[in-house]
Amino acid sequence: MRTDSEIQKDIAEQLKWEPFLNPAEIGVAVKDGVVTLTGEVDSYNKKIGAEMAAKKIAGVKAVAEEIHVGPSPSYLRTDTELAAAAANVLKWHTAVAEDKIKIMVEKGVISLSGEVDWNFQRQAAVDAVKNLAGVTRVNNYILVKPGVTSKDVRQKIISALQRNATLDADKIVVEMLGNKVLLSGTVRSLAEKDDAEMAAWAAPGVSSVENRLGVVEPAYSF
């Protein structure tokens, strides 16, 4: 079992490894394997990047992300400017059907809604707008249209998990409730838990994913 100080040290090193993050801006506290991230960064993308970095570390049970986004003066934008920029970036994104997505902006928070055929289109829309200067958060309310049968979807997800070199697919159980995917079993890190969920979302017609995967720290031999 890894100690909190070992986990904290590894997260600090991981933050240094990420080229777009400044570790001096981010505080890391660990108690019983639960990580709390604090501080202030100048973009929403950095906020998400810090959380993803922490999830990669073995022994992390959960991440409480309390980082504040305070755009630098050069990044400040009005909601009208942000809405126009978001509409423009979606218009030029080849993976996004921009006519199917609605944009709302309030105090730097972008909310996306609408309906698309695939989850990669849903995620591509978020990825496109989260990098815009002045964005403090992105709410994703975009829905995915139901597609193929549950049996076909389940098999596609299982195959995708088996192809993923970072996952132990034998320890992951996939169930279907209509077009909803239920994942259970165990993984070795929060990053692997996220990878499994992304694999489930990649199947056609998946409308939601309930991720009940538990994180079990691997045994280390020294």
Angle at 156 between CA 154 and CA 159, to 5 degrees: 110
pLDDT for 143 beyond 70: yes
* Cross-strand bridge partners of residue 143: 115
> What SS3 state is found at 62?
strand
Residue 172, both tokens: 């992951």
* Cross-strand bridge partners of residue 68: 40
Ordered by where they begin, the domains of the chain are: 4-69 (3.30.1340.30), 73-144 (3.30.1340.30), 150-215 (3.30.1340.30)
Of 130, 104, 99, the residue nearest 115 (C-alpha): 99
135 contacts: CB under 8 Å, gap ≥ 6:
43, 44, 69, 82, 108, 109, 110, 129
Buried b / exposed e across 159-180, counting CB within 10 Å, b at 16+?
ebbeeeeebbbebbebebeebe
pLDDT at 148: 62
Q: Around 201, how many Cα atoms within 13 Å sit in the side-chain half-sphere?
A: 19
113 contacts: CB under 8 Å, gap ≥ 6:
101, 102, 104, 141, 142
Of 182, 181, 179, 183, the residue nearest 205 (C-alpha): 179
* Cross-strand bridge partners of residue 103: 112
pLDDT digits 0-9 by tens, 75-112: 678 899 999 999 999 998 888 877 889 999 998 999 99
Residue 83, both tokens: 């809405």
Element (H or E) spanning 53, and its range?
helix 44-55
Say how far apart CA 1 and CA 218 lie, in whole Å: 9
pLDDT digits 0-9 by tens, 191-216: 999 999 988 988 877 888 999 999 98
End-to-end CA distance of the chain: 12
pLDDT digits 0-9 by tens, 5-44: 999 999 999 999 988 899 999 999 999 999 999 999 988 8
pLDDT for 219 beyond 90: no
Verdict on whether the full-model pTM lies above 0.75 = no
Residue 168, Cα to own-chain centre: how many angstroms?
A: 20
Q: Is 80 exposed, middle or buried (0-12, 13-18, 19+ CB in 10 A)?
A: exposed
Say how far apart CA 216 and CA 63 lie, in whole Å: 15
Percent residues over pLDDT 90 in the chain: 50
